[in-house]
Amino acid sequence: MNYCYKLKIEAIEGGDSQVVCDKLQEAYSEDPNFFFRVRLDSDGRVCNLFWRDSMMLEDYKIYGDVTVFDTTYRTNRYNLICAPFVGINNHWKNTMFACSFIGDETTDSFVWLFETFKKAMGGKCPVSLFTDQDATMAAAIPKVFPNTRHRLCLWHLIQNAVTRFGVLKSDDTFKAAFMKCLSGCINEAQFEVCWDSMMTKYKLKNNSWFKRLYSLKHKWSTALSKDFFSAGILSSQRSESTNHAVGFKANKKTSLTEFYNIFQKTVKTWRRNEDFYEFNSIKSIPISSYPMSALLKHAAEVYTHTLFRDGTTQAVTYDPVNQTTQCPCKNFEESGWLCFHSLRILHMHSVEKIPEQYISIRWTKVAKDKVWESIEAEQRKKGTLNNFTPWRLHMVRKYYSLILKSHKFEKSRKVLEESYAKDSSAIDEIISAMKSTDNHSENTTGVEENSEATSSNVVQVLDLARAKIKGFQEAMTT
């Protein structure tokens, strides 16, 4: 405990803000594609902070069409607002795009932050941006992302609504009617009927909060948003994921340095989980409660396990010439994958593969293949290949395909088994020789290269003030 306490004191003795800025500068020296911005006040104190690493950029290129921006998390020591940018990957799990701290929730701060995020992502804007109900944030979004569809997270909306229910809070029939308006209506006509019925039955037509909520209906009602891509976040299955997207806890004594360290560990955990889901999707085929027709087998081969699921009943129209379908649920338009209703129609018309126009790469097993290959090629070029995940996943996919191809025939199985035995023996010899060489090198040289990076343009900052800060100036380091 004393040792841990000593390490903690050493981490903050140099100034909490300065330590974090130094960590960001160090990360940049190790990762040339690392990006960060520090915004200072007139006294040299941090008021806004933003960063993202190179993998976050690659993830955003693939999954950045839908972004969740959550400002409901704070570090209470300085009252700074932690505002992460989060996306949904091909396994329908959260992936981090960037993290930021802002000193206040003014439109000016949000404009600065969104412009910084946009620059960090090479100018790419999200198709849909999910936020809470902050008015100043809503005013900043069209200034920076004029073509982005601004949505309201259902989870936050429900939490805010509960505080407005009053005596209706204990009325289950009212809550059911409200939830149907949120995400239970198929189209706009049904939504309008349900909303009007709820307003009349519970005498809410003159309620100012519900009036304002209705004026924002296009930002939260699933019935009015089915023509816009949202990766399914507006559905109840994903809404809870936007609740404190970072997913860890801090307290009023948590310093900025501690928060940064915890955040980095959280990102590493998310990426380890992603490796696990990637590996599982590659090595196995999901099952279905329905007979595995050729079409369903193709879906199982193409999509990740999370995307391979069943649905309910709808009336679907089908054009056999162009192999196009139209379903009232509009799942493809909203989420990016064909619904089960459409798959059933295609199956009935003896279509054995999902038409290419309905396969969105972001949901497939190979969504990040080019990223892994690029990282591996760069590491090989530099002679620093230490992240084996890309190569491992690539080889697992190759060998698994070979096993599936050969397992039905005894002769092909025998060829594969003999090749494995031969390759295994050759690899053992290589590893043994490499270990012998490494031991010899250590015994003869005993020299270890110092790889510590330094930079002359480290941002110098003071500790954070505990009140809101005015008079902004920027210190930018990339």
Residue 441 pLDDT grade (very low, low, confident, very high; cuts 50, 70, 90):
very low
Instruction: Copy the structure tokens of residue 293.
Output: 């027709």
Whether pLDDT at 265 is above 50: yes
pTM exceeds cut of 0.75: no
pLDDT tens digits, 104-126: 889 999 999 999 999 999 999 99
Question: Do residues 464 and 102 touch, judged by C-beta distance below 8 A?
Answer: no
Question: In a 10 Å sphere around its CB, with 0-12 CB exposed, 13-18 middle and 19+ buried, how is residue 13 labelled?
Answer: exposed
**Which residues make beta-bridge pairs with 99?**
51
Q: Report the percent of the chain where pLDDT is more than 70.
A: 76
Whether pLDDT at 468 is above 60: no
CA 226 to chain centre: 21
Separation CA 413–CA 408 (nearest Å): 8
pLDDT given for residue 307 in this prediction: 67
Residues 387, 391, 393: CA angle, nearest 5 degrees = 110
What are the structural domain ranges in the chain?
Answer: 16-148, 154-232, 284-363
Separation CA 175–CA 191 (nearest Å): 15
Q: How many CB atoms lie within 10 A of CB 388?
A: 11
DSSP secondary structure, 78-146, as one string: TTEEE--EEEE-TTS-EEEEEEEEES---HHHHHHHHHHHHHHTTT---SEEEE-S-HHHHHHHHHH-T
Separation CA 152–CA 129 (nearest Å): 8
The residue that leads in pLDDT, 214 or 165, is: 214
**Which among 245, 222, 367 has a CA at the least distance from the CA of 307?**
367
